[in-house]
Amino acid sequence: MSTRTASASVLYDAPGPRARFRYRVFGIVSLLGIAALLAFAVLKLTDAGQFDAAMWEPFQYTAVQQRILDGILATLKAFGLAAVFSVVLGALLAAGRLSDHRPVRAVAAVVVQFFRAMPLLIMIFALYHALFGSQPMWALVLGLTLYNGAVQAEIIRTGVLAVPRGQGEAAFALGLRKTQVMSIVLVPQAVRSMLPAIIGQLVVTLKDTSLGFVITYPELLYAGKLIASNSGGYPYVPVTLVIAPLYIGLCLALTGLARWIEARGRRGANRRTPAAA
């Protein structure tokens, strides 16, 4: 018996023939149910004419293609600003939460908990109507920064606290100050462990740029809405089939970049380890 099989048998009893048969039946019934729902949806959309060739004609025009490209650029612009600002804000709030001064910790904790609990859509909408009525981009960027910065603060704080306590104690024993301990000893070690979570939150930030739709910021989703509403027959399904893969592609590209950075950092750490030894 392999180690994996032995470990699994300790956690739960292996299913018998009847149980395996029931699992197969449940799986087949579930697949048939999902297929039936998909077939029903496709038939209804086909009856509505959403898959007709005429629905795809708007995408042949240069103006429509340019609008989609402008939407992608607007999405990336808002995401780039929000990503940088949220990571910087997260680092500052994490430093506040790790401070030795209780008032600073209390203020940072209140800010983090408030913006984590505030629904992002409401925050963007309020910022747009209260401060940035003529500049929707900044309402979107600030809303994304405040919310994601609070989340990034918890990620960074947790990553720093995950470093073994002896590392910090040894640094203090050498006479280093708190800022030196954080910047030289704790944060560099914590970066490798918290980088996947930081990048994961950046992917969420990228997807949340679509909320700019509600304040008329011309990002990708808003561009798709304009294309659908300005075209004859309201081709919302073709627009969705064009816009959704673009969002997915952007998120996959960001995830791939994160994996490349993580792998490169791991290789660099492995190269330094023998030299240090």
Q: In the prediction, which pLDDT does 116 show?
A: 92
Domain with 131, as residue range(s), is: 61-262
What pLDDT was estimated at residue 261? 76
Q: What is the pLDDT of residue 232?
A: 65
Is 130 a member of any domain? yes
Cα–Cα distance for residue pair 106/30, rounded to 1 Å:
50
* Structure confidence at residue 269 (pLDDT): 58
Quick one: which H or E segment has residue 189? helix 187-208
CA distance 133 to 269: 48
Is 277 inside any structural domain? Answer: no
Could you tell me if residue 19 is inside a domain?
A: no
Looking at residue 271, its pLDDT comes to 63
Does any domain span residue 50? no
> How high is the pLDDT of residue 272?
56
CB of 155 closer than 8 Å to CB of 202: no
Q: Is residue 251 within 8 Å of 203, Cβ to Cβ?
A: yes
CATH number of the domain where residue 174 is located? 1.10.3720.10
Does residue 198 lie in a domain region? Answer: yes
Q: Is residue 44 part of a domain?
A: no
Assigned domain for 215 exists: yes
Q: Which residues contact 209 (CB under 8 A, 6 or more apart)?
A: 75, 78, 79, 82, 140, 144, 219, 220
Determine the Cα–Cα distance for residues 128 and 138; give it in Å rounded to an integer. Answer: 8
Residue with tokens 């087949």: 28
Question: pLDDT tens, position by position, for the chain (277 residues)?
Answer: 445 444 445 555 677 778 788 888 899 999 999 999 989 888 887 876 777 777 788 888 888 889 999 999 999 999 999 999 999 999 899 988 888 889 999 999 999 999 999 999 999 999 999 998 889 999 999 999 999 999 999 998 888 887 777 766 677 777 777 677 776 677 777 777 788 888 889 999 999 999 998 998 999 988 888 888 877 667 778 888 888 899 999 988 888 887 787 777 666 656 655 544 4
CA distance 274 to 277: 5
23 part of a folded domain: no
Number of domains in the chain: 1
